[in-house]
Each structure stands twice: as structure tokens, then as C-alpha cells.
């Protein structure tokens, strides 16, 4: 464990050095200038094509910070807990390096440590809402401790042969999740993503393509520290569908070993004129994840087959040097099939293994999301004085368990608006921001034909989550930041930033089913 | 430039091949649809009360109901058997325990019609009957002797020395307990990895035991009248007064008929007769004899004679058997027809895929759902005799026949003690 920490500390230091090494430019840097830089870098921020970042001409930046966050309230999914806090460290930075003939290099490192309080119905997964229907759920309300290290980089060659740019992105994440009450797994997760890419550019036009491969492993065994008591669990295969078992009893394995592979690719087209930047990008990912319950005599618990389409169009219009307009429309479609197996134990002495007799798609979980947003920015130097925007999002969640047929459909509309103002006082700046929004449910239907309508997990998780998903809500928040520039040199600055967001259920019948939810984030750091 | 593209393509191809099998497997799956299954029920080897071979009456079939139970999904489908002995069911593809059970009369005697096909994979339509999808049932004369209550789970803290087994006369006539053995069946611990036995033993013809404790007698020493029971304890003592690292026990077994004393000089109770073990497979734990707190399968076996530990009676392939592929360890080979009663206990109610004994003996299983919870399994009362003693349910299906109580009770429901008991008043 200690070795892993040292290793990650070394990697963090390397990432920080990479970030700060890119800081040899003359303009001052601040959180807001970096925010603007990322908004203007359409390829960098909206695609996984690292080669395309070369076309953004984003210059350099680097930042590092520490953060503390706290959430409170039960207006969220049941498995996420009600009162969470955490802290973290993050750094990212990079850009085009002249001493590397204009090659683009960028990296990041994030560390987070979170304590989840009062989570329920999860004894397997670090992130129970990541789209994995096969997991163990238990009856005990429990805390979880999460710890995550993630790092990655994007690199791109200079333009080769006047037209070609090659790039690659690499990401790695290692995460641990430890449940604090029996049955308690210590879940280990690691994920590796590699994304080679290419761009062909002619004049103001460019087309790009990238390929993505990712491998993800997550496993942990739910065991009891108090061995004289068994713990009942549900082996969930879909919301409301499960098999009961006892941790610590018989030969039941509390292990859930997840093994995922994903492949995909994307195509991009961009036009970069003097005043207009336009990017059209589309990405498809196909992921398969197997779930086993044993390393030596594995019985496959289930498989998910995930198809994801993400199509996006981004526009940046530099109206004049002082005013910019940003627009984005996005279509996102994710469909996850849950495959269950019929298996028999072959007890032939020489064989002794689980044999798959047949498999079927038993469930599907679909997310359709359409988003449109517009932002206006009043520029000031390399930062901004005003940033205001609106966003409209329509989301449809559809779940089905084919036999016995059970369905859930929820359609919601979200509208949010935000405005931020930067006040400058010499080397000091104060950022004030407010935001607000509304979630309006369009439709919601839940039918259940399973045998466990009276069970605790069905009533208190499945139905509760359905109510949460279709609950109307009002959202508001505020942000306050302070920046002191020229701290060590003309580029560096120190910042501290506080964000608060509040979500309140707003049910039409006047009978709120939930309390409020609030989130506080305090972040302080340096930019270069 | 071209070289780089080749490198990228080669790298992509390498990765592609490594996970393509996993992805192709997932792509093969189709959306589930219900299937129709024809299951043949065949009543064979019927022996009339006088011992002669007979044919099962045709109307027995019309009274049969077949239960298709998909335990992992909690789905039960019940269908009637047709005149042709075939049951047609529409089910979701899955693993099923298919059970048939009924009690039928023949010449004034009750026969138990019990059949179980365990862990059957039903994944495709079965349009016509076949030997593969069939249950062959051998009717058994109902036995008056049954296991009435079993306390095996231990209590909070981990105390387990107060396990006991109560044997009851559920019939209308006296039963002699002489030669009866309490058999601890194999596997001792519930598992889905059931052992493989030699093919010559056939299917469902034998049960196998790891330990036998026998009531020795001359044939008429221990009459058990209807409504009476005897209790066999792991260790006869008042466990409510014995404190160990695991705390106190919860049962007073100091006044039972027999105890299964394994040889521990520290735990001798001279007031309670010892039941000798006549077979013990493998290492003999002289500290104590105990069964799994997760639930064992126990049987009442009548070999018809007094047995001796280590005698020539035990012959491999005749009275003992070895597992396929294992070493030389032998187990008692018990013909199912010599078993008066058997009760299957499993860790949790959902673990029916761990059933280990033939369905003809017990087509279900019972459970206290966990261990060290102080719970006990006890037969359900279905009626009372004129003398007030209960009649318990005994359909050879422990799932239905037993109920779970929060604490064990010896001679629950006013069951009587035999007059010859050392503790008879």
C-alpha cells in the first residue's frame, strides 16, 4: 500500500513538473484564463482526439490545487449516501512546447479521498450508478471510504508533411472503495485507456479520427469481520430482481470480479476561421463487462454489453476582440444490455467447473440525452469579465426487464442559467457567480411483475429511486472566488474559490418525498 | 509516416484480438423469450403392500402436479400431469428443480409419490417427451418414523454443543427403534459441487453417509408408540448452565434418551446412555461429534441388524462406497428403500441448488437462513390424535413439511416421552 502511494506521489510530482514546465509564457494565468482557454480549445475539450489539440493553439497553462467538498441531504439516489465529505489534490497543465518543435504535451493528476455516509444497498461497487446491474446489495446502512488516483496525458506531434498530426492519449485510474460495516468488501479498481489519433488538415479544414481501447478491472469480496453472524445480501441482476444469499454461510462467495474491455472510435471535422471555430464530432464505444464470483472456479454472474453514441457540434464565434459566443448541441445515446447465463456445475472429477448452457439478454438500460447550451463571454485580457450562459437538456431513462416484464421510463427536462462576473482590483480579482435552474418531469412510469414487491430493497431503493428520478426540482447556487496574481512572477497567481449548490425537490402535489440536497466545494491553489 | 500508421494498426489489431472473444460472446446473446417444455412423469418399480410387483393405478397420474421451480429467480410454475403422464409448462430459460409429490392410497396403504429432477437446465423448447426430460418415480410406503425437530444452527456467540435430533412416531402403530441409525449424509457441508459416485450405483438408488449412530437392541427393546418421540443429543447436558468462550447454550439436553458421545472423557454424562457410532468415515473427532451449523442432511436408516464399527460387515461396493476420483475414503452406502426419513438442511432458503440427497427421500430442503441464530426447524402440525398428540406433515418435502422457530424446543406440541425412557415420570 505504501509503495503504491510512493509510486503515485512520484507520478504526481512528474505531472506537476510537466504542468509547470509549460508555464514559460508571458501572459498572466488565472483560473478564469484557464477556463477561457479550455472553452476556446474545441478539440481539446470536446473530443478524445489528442492530435486535434494541436489545432487549438491553446498555448500553455498549468494549475494545481487542493479541495475540500461536502454534500448534505437525501435528495439523491439511495446508494450514494446522505452526508459525504472529501478532499483532494489535482493538477493539470501543458501545451505546445517550442523546444520540442511545437509538439503538444499535456498531463494531469488527481487524487481524491471521500467518505460516503449512510450509503445503502451496495456491497460490491465503488460507483454503484456506473451502469452495472450485477452487484451485491445488503441491508445495512454503511459508510464507504473511497480513494482515487488518476493520471493521464495527451500528446500530439507537430504538423507532419504539412497536413498530418498524430496524437495519443493515455489515462490510468486506480481506485479503492472500502465499506465500513459487514458485509464489507475492499474493492480495488483500475482502468487504463489508450487513445491513438490522427488529424489531416488542409487550410482551415481538418478531419480527424481516433481509436479507443480501455480495460477496466474492479473486484472485491464482501466478508464479515464478525464471523459468528451471517449477513443477508441480495445478488442483484436488475432493479427488483435478485437472488437472496448469506455472506458467511455455506459456500456463497461474496466476490464480485468485474472485467471490462471497451473499444471505440470517433470522427471529427473542424473549420477554424478568423472569427469562427466549428467542430463536429461523433464517437461510438462498444464495451463488454463480465462479472464472475470466483477466481478458480468462476461462475459467470452476468455480462453487460454497452453501446454508446455521442455526437456533438461546437461553435465559437469571436464577435470582436471583446465578445465571444459559444454554442454546443449534443446527442448522447447509451444502451446497456444485461446478459444472464444458464449454467450447470459439471462435477466430473477431471472437469469440475461451471458450464454455460445458454445466455440471454434479460434486461436493458437506456439513456437518451439531448443538450443545447449557449455561453456569452465578455473578454478581458486573456481572461473574462463576464460569462453568462443557458443550458437546456432533455433526458430519457428507460429500463426494461424482459421476463417477467417490468419497465421503468422517466423523462425529464432541465433548464439552467448561470452568470459570473470578475471584478479586478490591480493584482487582485474577485469572482462572483450565481446559477439557477429547474428540473421538470415530463413523464414517468414504473411497472413491476417480479416476485419481490414487498421486499425491503424494492420498496426502499427501487421505488425510492424512481420517485427521485421523476421528482421536480429547483436548483440554485453561488460561487465566490479570490485571485491574487503576480505572486511569484508575472504569470503565477494564487486562488481560493468557494462554490455552493442547492437542490430542492419541488413536487407538484406539495408532498415532498425528499429533503434538500446541497454541495459545497472549497478549492485553493496556484496557476502558472 | 506510413510506418507510424502500421504501428498503430498493429497495436489496434493486438488489442482487438485479445478482447474479441469476450465481445463476440456478448454479441451472440439474444433477447430472452419463454419456452415450452414437455416433461414426462413415469411411475416405476411399484411394489404392492404384500411385496409383489404391481402397476401404478392410472388415476394416480391425474392427481399429480409438477412444480417447476427456478429458485435463483424465485419463479414457480405449477402444471397438471396429463393422462399420458406428460406435463407441459411454459417457463423462462433457466435452472430448475422439477418436483412431483403426492400421497396415494393402494389397498388401504399410503404411498408417497415423490420425484425430483434437480438443477435441470431448461434452455430450449422441448416439444415431445424424452428420457432426458423425465422423472422416474418409485412409490414408497409411507413411514411412520420421522425426524420431528432438528436444532443444528447454534446460538449467538457461537455455541453449538446443544445440537439435537428428535425422532417421532407419526403413524398409528408402534415402531421398534432397535437397529435404527441416525445417519449424517454426504456431503457434510452444503455445496453446489456435489460428489460424483460410481455409475454402477445408478441414479437416486443410494444415499451416502459419513457417520452412523445406532440404537442397538434385540428387535423389540425400544418400542415407540404413536405420538411419542426420543431425542438424540450431540452432548447430553444442561447447556444453559455451561459457559464457554462462545457464551452459554440455549437448550437443556441433560434429560434426553441418548447422546452421541465421541470419546471425550471431559464430557461424560453417565445418566444418559451413549449411542455408539458404528461407522465414522475419515478422522474421528473424539472431542465431539457435531454437524454443520449451516445445515446437514440427516436420515433415519434401518439396516435390520446391530452393526459394529470396523467389522467385516463394511464391504466396499456393498455397504460402503468411494467417491469417483477421490482417495480411499469410504462412506456408508444406504439403499434409499431402507431409509425411514431424511431431512435436508441448507444454509439459506435460496440454496436449493445445493441439495445433496435423492428427491425420492426429500424433494425439498429446510433452512434457518444462517447460523448461530438459535433457530430450529420443526415439522408442521397438520392434525391431532384423540389422545391429543400431534400428527405432523410428512410429504418427503422438507420445504413444505418444516417450519422455522426462533428457539428450539424438545417435544414441542405436547409430544410424549416413551415409558422406557430413563426420564419417564
Three cell numbers written together for B117: 429432477
Q: pLDDT tens digits, residue range B271-305?
A: 999 999 999 999 999 999 999 999 999 999 999 99
B124 lies in the same domain as B229: no
Contact (CB, 8 A) for A416 and A436: yes
Nearest to A403 among B74, B92, B95 (CB): B92
| Interchain contact A425–B (C-beta under 8 A) | no
B137 lies in the same domain as B152: no
| Interchain contact A400–B (C-beta under 8 A) | no
Q: Which candidate, B290, B317, B335, B323, places its Cα nearest to that of B150?
A: B290
For chain B, the C-alpha Rg in angstroms (whole number) is: 25
Domain boundary among B120, B141, B162: B141
Q: What are the distances in angstroms from CA B194 to CA A347, A442, B349?
A: 6, 53, 18
Q: Which residues of B278-299 are buried (b: 16+ CB within 10 A; e: fewer)?
A: bbbbeeeeeebbbbbbbbbbbb
Give the Cα-Cα-Cα angle A197, A200, A206 (nearest 5 degrees).
105
Question: Of all helices (H) and strands (E), which one includes residue A465?
Answer: helix A463-469
B130 lies in the same domain as B183: no
Contact state of B123 with A290 under an 8 Å Cβ cutoff: no
Distance CA B196, CA B198 (A): 7
Domain boundary among B86, B107, B141: B141
B137 lies in the same domain as B165: no
**CA of B225, closest CA in chain A: separation in Å?**
37
Q: Which candidate, A106, A60, A95, A30, places its Cα nearest to that of A527?
A: A30
**CA of A341, closest CA in chain B: separation in Å?**
8
Contact (CB, 8 A) for A209 and A266: yes
- Taking one residue from A and the other from B, the number of pairs with CB-CB distance under 8 angstroms is 154
Distance CA B184, CA B342 (A): 10
B283 lies in the same domain as B356: yes
Domain A2-527: give its CATH code.
Answer: 2.40.170
Q: Which candidate, B403, B367, B380, places its Cα nearest to that of B292?
A: B367
Give the Cα-Cα-Cα angle A168, A169, A170 (nearest 5 degrees).
125
Domain boundary among B113, B141, B169: B141
B277 lies in the same domain as B170: yes
B308 lies in the same domain as B362: yes
Contact (CB, 8 A) for B316 and B330: yes
Question: Of all helices (H) and strands (E), which one includes residue A94?
Answer: strand A83-97
The DSSP symbol for A223 reads B
- Give the pLDDT of chain A (528 residues) as one tens digit per residue: 444 455 545 544 454 444 444 444 446 889 999 999 999 999 999 999 999 999 999 998 999 999 999 999 999 999 998 889 999 999 999 999 988 899 999 999 999 999 999 999 999 999 999 999 999 999 899 999 999 999 999 999 999 999 999 999 999 999 999 999 999 999 999 999 999 999 999 999 999 999 999 999 999 999 998 887 889 999 999 999 998 888 987 667 899 999 999 999 999 999 999 999 999 999 999 999 999 999 888 899 999 999 999 999 999 999 999 999 999 999 999 999 999 999 988 777 666 788 999 999 999 999 999 999 999 999 999 999 999 999 999 999 999 999 999 999 999 999 999 999 999 998 999 999 999 999 999 999 999 999 999 999 999 999 999 999 999 999 999 999 999 998 877 789 999 999 999 999 987 666 667 889 999 999 999 998
Three cell numbers written together for B354: 445445493
| Interchain contact A263–B (C-beta under 8 A) | yes
ipTM of model: 0.88
Nearest to B32 among A164, A215, A403 (CB): A403
| Interchain contact B337–A (C-beta under 8 A) | no
- Chain A environment of B190 (Cβ under 8 Å): 250-251
Q: pLDDT tens digits, residue range B305-355?
A: 999 999 999 999 999 999 998 788 999 999 988 899 999 999 988 787 788
B151 lies in the same domain as B133: no
Strand-pair partners of B265: none
Contact state of B31 with A251 under an 8 Å Cβ cutoff: no
Contact (CB, 8 A) for B58 and B85: no
User: A237's torsion region: left (phi>0), alpha (psi -120 to 50) or beta?
Assistant: alpha
B185 lies in the same domain as B211: yes
Distance CA A290, CA B26 (A): 9
Q: Which residues of B384-417 are buried (b: 16+ CB within 10 A; e: fewer)?
A: eeeeebbbbbbbbbbbebbeebeebebbbbebbb
B294 lies in the same domain as B236: yes
Distance CA B77, CA B81 (A): 13
In a domain, B349, yes or no: yes
Contact (CB, 8 A) for A125 and A218: yes
Give the Cα-Cα-Cα angle B216, B221, B224 (nearest 5 degrees).
100
Q: Which candidate, B399, B346, B386, B337, places its Cα nearest to that of B153?
A: B346
- To test the contact with chain B by mutation, choose from A168, A232, A246 the residue with the greatest count of B C-beta atoms within 10 A, namely A246
Contact state of B194 with A305 under an 8 Å Cβ cutoff: no
Three cell numbers written together for A308: 454508446
Secondary structure (3-state) at A322: coil
- To test the contact with chain B by mutation, choose from A348, A403, A407 the residue with the greatest count of B C-beta atoms within 10 A, namely A403
In a domain, B179, yes or no: yes
- To test the contact with chain B by mutation, choose from A230, A258, A302 the residue with the greatest count of B C-beta atoms within 10 A, namely A230
Which residues are within 8 A (CB) of A136 and not within 5 positions of it... i.e. 6 or more apart?
A122, A123, A124, A183, A222, A233, A234, A235, A236, A254, A256
Contact state of A347 with B194 under an 8 Å Cβ cutoff: yes
Nearest to B22 among A166, A288, A345 (CB): A288
B125 lies in the same domain as B153: no
In a domain, B425, yes or no: no
B150 lies in the same domain as B256: yes
| Interchain contact A261–B (C-beta under 8 A) | yes
Q: pLDDT tens digits, residue range B69-99?
A: 998 888 899 999 988 889 999 999 999 989 8
Say which CATH number the domain at B61 has.
2.60.40.1120
Distance CA A496, CA B70 (A): 59
In a domain, B15, yes or no: no
Tally of structural domains, chain B: 2
Secondary structure (3-state) at A293: coil
Contact (CB, 8 A) for B337 and B205: no
Three cell numbers written together for A223: 466478508
Contact state of B354 with A402 under an 8 Å Cβ cutoff: no
Contact (CB, 8 A) for B169 and B222: no
Nearest chain B residue to A261 by CA distance is B19
Nearest to B93 among A290, A342, A450 (CB): A342
Flag residues of chain B having pLDDT under 70: 1-5, 8-9, 11-18
Residue B72 lies in domain: 35-141
| Interchain contact A305–B (C-beta under 8 A) | yes
Which residues between 97 and 116 in chain B have a beta carbon less than 8 angstroms from any beta carbon of chain A?
Answer: none
In a domain, B6, yes or no: no
- Chain B environment of A351 (Cβ under 8 Å): none
Amino acid at each position: 500500500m505504501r509503495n503504491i502511494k510512493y509510486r503515485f506521489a512520484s507520478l504526481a510530482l512528474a505531472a506537476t513538473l510537466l504542468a509547470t514546465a509549460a508555464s514559460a509564457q508571458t501572459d498572466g494565468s488565472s483560473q478564469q484564463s484557464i477556463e477561457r482557454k479550455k472553452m476556446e480549445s474545441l478539440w481539446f475539450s470536446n473530443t478524445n482526439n489528442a492530435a486535434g489539440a494541436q489545432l487549438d493553439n491553446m498555448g500553455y497553462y498549468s494549475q494545481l490545487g487542493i479541495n475540500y467538498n461536502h454534500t448534505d441531504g437525501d435528495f439523491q439516489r439511495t446508494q450514494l449516501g446522505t452526508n459525504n465529505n472529501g478532499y483532494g489534490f489535482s493538477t493539470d497543465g501543458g501545451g505546445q512546447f517550442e523546444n520540442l518543435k511545437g509538439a503538444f504535451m499535456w498531463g494531469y493528476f488527481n487524487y481524491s479521498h471521500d467518505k460516503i455516509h449512510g450509503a445503502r444497498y451496495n456491497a460490491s461497487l465503488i460507483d454503484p450508478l456506473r451502469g452495472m446491474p450485477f452487484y451485491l446489495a445488503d441491508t445495512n446502512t454503511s459508510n464507504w471510504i473511497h480513494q482515487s488516483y488518476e493520471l493521464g496525458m495527451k500528446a500530439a506531434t507537430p504538423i507532419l508533411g504539412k497536413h498530418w498530426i498524430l496524437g495519443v492519449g493515455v489515462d490510468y485510474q486506480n481506485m479503492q472503495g472500502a465499506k465500513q460495516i459487514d458485509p464489507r468488501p475492499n474493492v480495488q479498481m483500475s482502468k487504463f485507456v489508450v487513445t491513438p489519433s490522427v488529424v489531416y488538415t488542409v487550410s482551415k479544414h481538418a478531419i480527424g479520427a481516433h481509436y479507443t481501447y480501455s480495460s477496466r478491472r474492479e473486484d472485491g469480496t464482501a466478508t464479515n469481520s464478525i464471523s459468528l453472524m451471517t449477513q443477508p445480501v441480495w445478488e442483484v441482476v436488475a432493479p427488483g430482481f435478485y437472488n437472496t444469499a448469506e455472506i458467511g454461510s455455506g459456500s456463497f462467495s461474496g466476490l464480485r470480479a468485474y472485467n471490462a474491455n471497451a473499444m471505440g472510435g470517433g470522427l471529427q471535422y473542424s473549420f477554424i476561421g478568423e472569427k469562427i471555430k466549428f467542430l463536429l464530432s461523433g464517437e461510438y464505444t462498444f464495451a463488454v463487462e463480465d462479472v464472475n464470483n470466483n477466481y478458480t472456479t468462476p461462475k459467470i454472474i452476468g455480462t453487460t454489453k454497452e453501446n454508446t453514441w455521442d455526437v456533438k457540434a461546437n461553435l465559437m464565434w469571436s464577435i470582436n476582440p471583446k465578445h465571444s459566443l459559444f454554442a454546443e448541441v449534443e446527442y448522447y445515446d447509451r444502451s446497456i444490455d444485461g446478459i444472464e447465463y444458464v449454467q450447470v456445475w459439471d462435477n466430473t472429477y477431471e472437469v469440475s467447473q461451471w458450464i454455460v448452457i445458454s445466455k440471454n439478454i434479460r434486461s436493458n438500460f437506456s439513456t437518451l440525452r439531448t443538450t443545447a447550451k449557449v455561453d456569452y463571454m465578455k473578454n478581458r485580457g486573456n481572461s473574462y469579465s463576464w460569462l453568462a450562459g443557458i443550458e437546456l437538456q432533455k433526458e430519457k431513462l428507460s429500463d426494461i426487464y424482459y421476463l417477467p416484464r417490468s419497465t421503468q421510463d422517466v423523462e425529464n427536462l432541465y433548464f439552467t442559467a448561470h452568470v459570473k462576473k470578475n471584478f479586478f482590483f490591480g493584482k487582485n480579482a474577485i469572482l462572483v457567480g450565481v446559477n439557477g435552474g429547474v428540473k421538470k418531469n415530463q413523464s414517468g412510469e414504473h411497472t413491476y411483475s417480479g416476485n419481490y414487491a414487498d421486499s425491503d430493497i424494492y420498496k426502499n431503493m427501487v421505488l425510492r429511486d424512481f420517485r427521485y428520478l421523476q421528482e421536480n426540482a429547483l436548483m440554485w447556487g453561488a460561487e465566490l472566488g479570490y485571485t491574487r496574481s503576480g505572486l511569484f512572477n508575472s504569470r503565477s497567481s494564487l486562488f481560493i474559490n468557494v462554490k455552493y449548490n442547492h437542490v430542492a425537490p419541488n413536487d407538484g402535489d406539495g408532498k415532498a418525498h425528499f429533503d434538500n440536497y446541497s454541495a459545497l466545494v472549497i478549492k485553493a491553489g496556484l496557476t502558472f | 509516416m506510413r510506418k507510424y500508421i502500421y504501428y498503430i494498426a498493429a497495436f489496434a489489431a493486438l488489442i482487438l484480438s485479445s478482447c474479441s472473444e469476450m465481445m463476440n460472446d456478448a454479441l451472440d446473446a439474444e433477447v430472452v423469450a419463454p419456452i415450452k417444455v414437455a416433461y414426462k412423469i413415469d411411475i416405476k418399480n411399484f411394489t404392492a403392500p404384500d411385496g409383489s410387483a404391481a402397476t401404478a393405478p392410472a388415476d394416480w397420474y391425474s392427481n399429480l402436479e409438477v412444480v417447476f421451480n427456478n429458485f435463483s429467480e424465485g419463479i414457480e410454475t405449477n402444471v397438471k400431469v396429463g393422462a399420458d403422464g406428460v406435463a407441459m409448462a411454459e417457463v423462462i430459460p433457466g435452472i430448475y428443480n422439477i418436483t412431483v409429490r403426492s400421497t396415494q392410497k393402494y389397498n388401504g396403504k399410503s404411498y408417497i409419490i415423490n420425484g425430483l429432477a434437480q438443477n435441470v437446465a431448461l434452455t430450449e423448447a422441448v416439444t415431445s417427451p424424452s428420457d432426458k426430460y423425465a422423472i422416474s418415480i418409485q412409490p414408497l410406503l409411507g413411514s411412520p418414523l420421522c425426524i420431528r425437530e432438528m436444532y443444528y444452527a447454534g446460538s449467538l456467540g457461537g455455541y453449538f454443543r446443544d445440537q439435537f435430533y428428535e425422532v417421532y412416531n407419526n403413524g398409528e402403530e408402534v415402531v421398534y427403534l432397535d437397529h435404527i441409525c441416525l445417519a449424517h449424509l454426504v456431503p457434510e457441508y452444503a455445496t453446489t459441487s456435489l460428489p460424483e459416485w460410481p455409475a454402477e450405483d445408478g441414479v437416486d438408488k443410494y444415499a451416502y453417509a459419513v457417520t452412523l449412530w445406532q440404537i442397538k437392541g434385540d428387535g423389540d427393546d425400544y418400542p415407540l408408540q404413536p405420538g411419542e418421540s426420543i431425542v438424540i443429543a450431540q452432548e447430553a447436558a444442561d447447556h444453559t448452565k455451561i459457559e464457554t468462550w462462545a457464551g452459554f447454550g440455549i437448550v437443556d439436553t441433560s434429560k434426553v434418551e441418548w447422546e452421541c458421545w465421541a470419546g471425550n472423557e471431559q464430557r461424560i454424562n453417565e445418566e444418559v446412555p451413549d449411542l455408539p457410532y458404528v461407522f465414522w468415515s475419515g478422522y474421528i473427532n473424539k472431542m465431539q461429534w457435531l454437524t454443520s451449523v449451516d445445515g446437514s442432511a440427516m436420515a433415519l436408516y434401518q439396516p435390520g441388524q446391530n452393526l459394529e464399527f470396523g467389522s467385516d460387515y463394511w464391504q466396499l461396493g456393498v455397504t460402503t462406497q468411494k467417491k469417483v476420483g477421490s482417495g480411499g475414503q469410504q462412506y456408508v452406502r444406504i439403499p434409499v428403500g431402507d431409509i425411514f426419513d431424511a431431512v435436508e438442511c441448507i444454509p439459506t432458503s435460496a440454496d436449493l441448488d445445493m441439495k445433496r440427497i435423492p428427491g425420492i427421500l426429500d424433494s425439498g430442503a429446510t433452512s434457518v437462513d444462517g447460523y448461530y441464530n438459535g433457530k430450529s426447524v420443526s415439522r408442521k402440525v397438520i392434525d391431532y390424535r384423540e389422545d391429543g398428540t400431534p400428527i405432523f406433515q410428512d410429504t418427503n418435502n422438507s420445504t413444505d413439511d418444516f417450519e422455522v422457530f426462533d428457539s428450539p424446543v424438545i417435544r414441542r406440541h405436547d409430544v410424549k416421552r416413551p415409558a422406557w425412557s430413563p426420564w419417564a415420570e
